[in-house]
Amino acid sequence: MLKRSTKIASAVIGLVTLVEAAAFSGTYLFHTRHYVSTDNAKVDGDAIEINAPRTGTLLSWSLTTGSTVSANEVVGRIEEIGSGGQPQRVIKAPRAGTIAATNVVPGQYVTAGTKLATAYDSVYVTARVAEEDIEGVREGSLVDITADAYPGRPLLGQVLDIQAATAGQFTIYPAAGTDPRNPQKIEQYVPVRIALLNTNGVVISPGMNVDVAIRRS
């Protein structure tokens, strides 16, 4: 026979567990009712490559990660090798953008066409939403975003566009341990492009992993 105190303790533990489970279920239902969420999302952008116009030694280089450039801005100079007078050639940014990565330093020898830096003229989030959830997403909907690199700095976005959904597909190659006579459905995802409205003062770069919660309209 269990002691009375043991029975009371067990009952209390059971009650606390039920309360916690109910609270979790309530929070989950509230969230799914008001948001379409996915962690299958990354910061993306339209890349601009800045390449070496000639083979030679990099005399100067002004770009750093996070710096901005304008179209045709001079960002460096190369002393061309192989010419009699070894003339200097300027390096220009082809379009305006924000530098995401630089690959060189002054004094470095580079060959014509070498990628010196990568910039982006627009940065956005591409979220892959499960096909069965896409009906809850609308263009113009606000989006709460959390970047893995900045867990305590919430970001705000807005849905720009939604790609057309594709029909579910089936594969004839079932996973190990499943009945080979039953084709397995492949999970389908619809890419959703999200503009960044407020980055909360942090630098958001393409390739970052993010979680998104799209507010249902």
Residue 192: what pLDDT? 94
Q: pLDDT exceeding 70 applies to what percent of the chain?
A: 73
183 SS3 class: coil
Confidence grade of residue 22 (pLDDT, cut at 50, 70, 90): very low
Confidence grade of residue 25 (pLDDT, cut at 50, 70, 90): very low
Domains and CATH numbers, the chain: 38-44+124-215 (2.40.30.170), 46-121 (2.40.50.100)
Tell me the C-alpha distance between 120 and 123, whole Å. Answer: 7
- Calculate the alpha carbon distances from 46 to 98, 124, 153, 158, 211 in Å: 11, 9, 24, 18, 21
Residue 203: what pLDDT? 81
Q: In sequence order, which residues have a C-beta less than 8 Å from that of residue 11 and are 6 or more positions away? A: none
Residue 171: what pLDDT? 43
38 SS3 class: strand
The letter for the amino acid at 191 is P
Q: In sequence order, which residues have a C-beta less than 8 Å from that of residue 26 and are 6 or more positions away? A: none
Confidence grade of residue 15 (pLDDT, cut at 50, 70, 90): low
pTM above 0.75, yes or no: no
Beta strands (DSSP E) in the chain are 35-51, 56-61, 68-69, 74-80, 88-92, 97-102, 109-110, 115-130, 142-147, 150-162, 169-171, 184-186, 189-198, 209-215
Q: List the end-to-end C-alpha distance of the chain, in Å, as a whole number.
A: 57
Q: Looking at residues 111-126, what average pLDDT do you find?
A: 92
Residue 206: what pLDDT? 86
pLDDT at 106 over 80: yes
